[in-house]
Amino acid sequence: MYKEISRLILFSDLGKNSILKNIAGIIHDAEHDRADKDELIRRSYREVKRILDLSTDCGFDENLWQCYLAYILMTNENSFTKTCERVGSREGSVNHFAVNDFEIFHRLLHYDFGWIEKKLGIDCFSTICDYRAIPKRDRLYNHDISTQVRAVRDRLKDASSGGEIFDIITDYYSRYGYGLFAMSRAFRIEDGARKLSFLPISNVDNVMLDDLLGYEEQKKQLRDNTVAFLKGKKANNVLLYGDAGTGKSTSVKALINEYYDSGLRMIEIYKHQFGMLSDVIGTVKNRNYRFIIFIDDLSFEENEVEYKFLKAVIEGGVETRPENVLIYATSNRRHLVRETWKDHDDMEHNGDIHRSDTIEEKTSLAARFGLSINYNAPSPKQYHEIVKALAERNGIDIEEEELKKIANSWEIRHGGYSGRAAQQLIQYLDSSR
């Protein structure tokens, strides 16, 4: 195995302290008796644990060794994977080197650990090659990564040669790309990391736009803008503003479920991370995906100046915003930055003309969102219709007038008329059955 890995060309950069290289080192030292038995067992258990940890996070099952190798092929960044993501596989000399690497991976996929297990008196490698994972809820692992890796693994294990693996993997790169952006739909930025790092969100709400009752015109505007964006047409940054609990965030999250297969990805960013926006955009601008940078519950207090980072990124910087990036934000405030009466102290009067530089500075942020969509709180009638529809959808059988009385009592104690209050009521009634 050690010699095999040393012959990799395109996929030679496996990262520091990679599991594959470490296991190859164990095999090499066992073959040449360069370490005592106890040390080799300790090193073997350490790498097997790392595979188990990765498998738990990603929801791997059955042959974890083959899942791990498939994961490497699907996530490794090199000149070949970059090219395949952008233009697909083409005739070229690089294919010769790719097939060489895939022949090596073909042999690794079917590597026989029997001899080293016999030598060390262990069975950890054979166990992970025929593994039965404990069933767990989707929210405990990344379902997107699990589905894709296991599907590719199933094709790779039946491949007869490196040439066949070439066809399988280049087809994957052409359809999905490489790396975590190919396998996950939503991401956060890792705080405190020295290098910009994206963390896949494993528990994305499985909600669709049709699940949000009402707001048909708002959903249409949002959908039309997003579809235009995905087709490479002109599209706007979007601000969804209005009353709390009306479905602003839900609408944006639903987009990623509806258009994930069309190449849409989402990066959620928080206010204290706005200084990293330029780096985020610089990292994703050359990827073959369409990215929505999602900012939830956006607002600024009087003494906060982070909004200036956002203004510079949206419009007005030296470098134009790339065509594959849009910013969608939600807010309970229309103008985002809180104004005070002090802002009017620099008011100038010239006839009927009133001008305030401070107000202009603060309100200009909202103006940079080309599309503003208002989500008003529902009327009492609309609120009752939402409650009724949700009750029917969830199989809650309560006479309509009685349900209306319960809904009225509920909204008084839970923040007024809103879709969120209606949903919480239905959850309460459902749990009480």
Amino acid 356: pLDDT: 53
pLDDT band at 194 (very low <50, low <70, confident <90, very high): confident
Residue 40 burial (CB < 10 Å; 0-12/13-18/19+)? Answer: buried
Phi, psi values for residue 113, rounded to 5°: -85, 5
Amino acid 64: pLDDT: 97
d(CA 294, CA 373): 15
Question: Could you report the per-residue pLDDT of 364-382, keeping only the tens digit for each?
Answer: 677 778 899 999 988 999 9
Q: Which of 308, 296, 369, 306 is nearest to 335 (CA)?
A: 369
Phi, psi values for residue 131, rounded to 5°: -105, 145
**pTM (predicted TM-score):** 0.83
Strand 325-331, strand 371-375: pairing: unpaired
Amino acid 124: pLDDT: 97
| CATH class of residue range 209-375 | alpha beta
Q: Please say whether the dihedral angle defined by the alpha carbons of residues 18, 20, 23 and 28, taken in this order, is positive or negative.
A: negative
Amino acid 292: pLDDT: 96
Range list of β-strands (E), 304-432: 325-331, 348-350, 353-355, 371-375
d(CA 196, CA 189): 7
Angle at 310 between CA 304 and CA 316, to 5 degrees: 125
Contact 251, 212 (CB under 8 A): yes
d(CA 230, CA 218): 19
**Tokens representing residue 358 in the block:** 């401070």
Q: How many CB atoms lie within 10 A of CB 150?
A: 18
d(CA 423, CA 433): 16
Rounded mean pLDDT, 275-279: 87
Phi, psi values for residue 348, rounded to 5°: -110, 150
Contact 310, 277 (CB under 8 A): yes
Q: In this predicted structure, which of 40-49, 222-231, 327-336 has the lowest mean pLDDT?
A: 327-336
Q: In this predicted structure, which of 24-38, 197-211, 280-294 has the lowest mean pLDDT?
A: 197-211
Amino acid 352: pLDDT: 42
Amino acid 341: pLDDT: 42
Rounded mean pLDDT, 118-140: 88
| DSSP code of residue 328 | E
What percentage of the chain has pLDDT greater than the value 70? Answer: 88
Q: Please say whether the dihedral angle defined by the alpha carbons of residues 381, 386, 387 and 392, taken in this order, is positive or negative.
A: positive
Phi, psi values for residue 335, rounded to 5°: -105, 5
Question: Could you report the per-residue pLDDT of 334-351, keeping only the tens digit for each?
Answer: 665 555 545 445 545 444
Rounded mean pLDDT, 409-424: 88
